[in-house]
Homo-oligomer: A and B are copies of this chain.
């Protein structure tokens, strides 16, 4: 079955999706029967192009190697802003991978609202709308009768939300804890290897793990956003960003702290957790010393991990990539294939 895609945002993740389609469009078609065709792209900085016949992903990427944007890329329709693209593009699925703002939801909130209003399926890796208005989004999708997937909002393409929704169906998930921010975990790993906080931060910035303003990572806001998404969608309990207990993140951890933990056979980790207590979610993102025997203690570098606590199955832990272009773009591909399989089943 054909799935025509309108991609909103053509930065790291959007281009990552195009890269995967360059490499394995035919394989996805032959193996899963999913014919994924980009019919529109709209990006605030790179411009917008649309072609109901399909845009060639490799031509798009090549164009951006030699041009700053897509304004001179040949296409029958061009210059549409995001909302116009969502409304007018010949697309089945809106892939929302634009700029993330976990405090307000950003423009992405409007993009998702418009997509649902137009009856389009939606795949997003954008935490903004799912932190700020998770229930509104879930309900809008249900009301519109469309498919909605957002695996890439937590731990990139590592299957966390889909595993909880699909494969743990029938269990009661009563809480979770884990390492949901790769930048800080990388920094803590490097600090154990002898770097100071400042040196570890500079290295993380040099490697592209941390942004120029690292506060979202190091203070715990990024992890807290993921806790909010998981609490609302997996625990299915309302939780707002401001309700997550945050302290100073990892900013106050010194070499002396690291050494003290090592002597006690423990290790500092920025632990994100939420659990249900008397029907209410209690959530926090706090730097903690965890014993080396703890399953998350062995999770090093930019790797992430989450342990779901379940009633029938006990703890289930998933460890995998927390970020990365290919890894997050894979979340989009995986969600698209899941929507495809669902639509095929409905057609049968």
Contact = CB atoms under 8 A, between A and B. Distances in A.
Interface of A: 20, 24, 28, 32, 151, 156-159, 162-163, 166-171, 292-293, 295, 297-300, 312-321, 326-327, 329-330, 333-334, 337-338, 341-342, 345-346, 348
Contact of A313 (B157, B314, B338): B157
6 contacts: A151-B167, A157-B313, A295-B319, A312-B333, A345-B346, A346-B348
Given A298-B297, A313-B158, A346-B346, A163 B169 contact: no
Nearest to A332: B170
A288 B320 CA distance: 23
Contacts of A314: 320-321, 327
Nearest to A324: B314
Contacts of A167: 151, 159, 162-163, 166-167, 334, 338
Contacts of A346: 345-346, 348
Given A163-B163, A317-B318, 8 more contacts: A158-B313, A168-B334, A170-B333, A170-B337, A293-B300, A295-B319, A312-B327, A314-B321
Nearest to A236: B31
Contact of A169 (B32, B170, B171): B32
A295 B317 CA distance: 12
A172 to B, nearest CB: 9
Contact of A319 (B166, B317, B342): B317
A157 B308 CA distance: 14
Contacts of A321: 313-314, 316
A24 B170 CA distance: 9
Contacts of A300: 293
Nearest to A24: B170
A278 to B, nearest CB: 19
Contacts of A334: 167-171
Nearest to A326: B312
A237 to B, nearest CB: 15
A195 to B, nearest CB: 18
A231 to B, nearest CB: 18
Nearest to A340: B169
Given A314-B321, A318-B316, A337 B28 contact: no
Highest count of chain B CB atoms <10 Å: which of A24, A151, A292, A316: A316
Nearest to A171: B330
Contacts of A24: 170
A117 B320 CA distance: 41
A163 B159 contact: yes
A24 to B, nearest CB: 8
A158 B307 CA distance: 12
Contact of A166 (B162, B297, B312, B326): B162
Contact of A327 (B169, B313, B318, B342): B313
A170 B313 contact: no
A312 B330 contact: yes
A330 B166 CA distance: 13
Contacts of A20: 170, 312
A300 B315 CA distance: 13
Contacts of A330: 170-171, 312-313
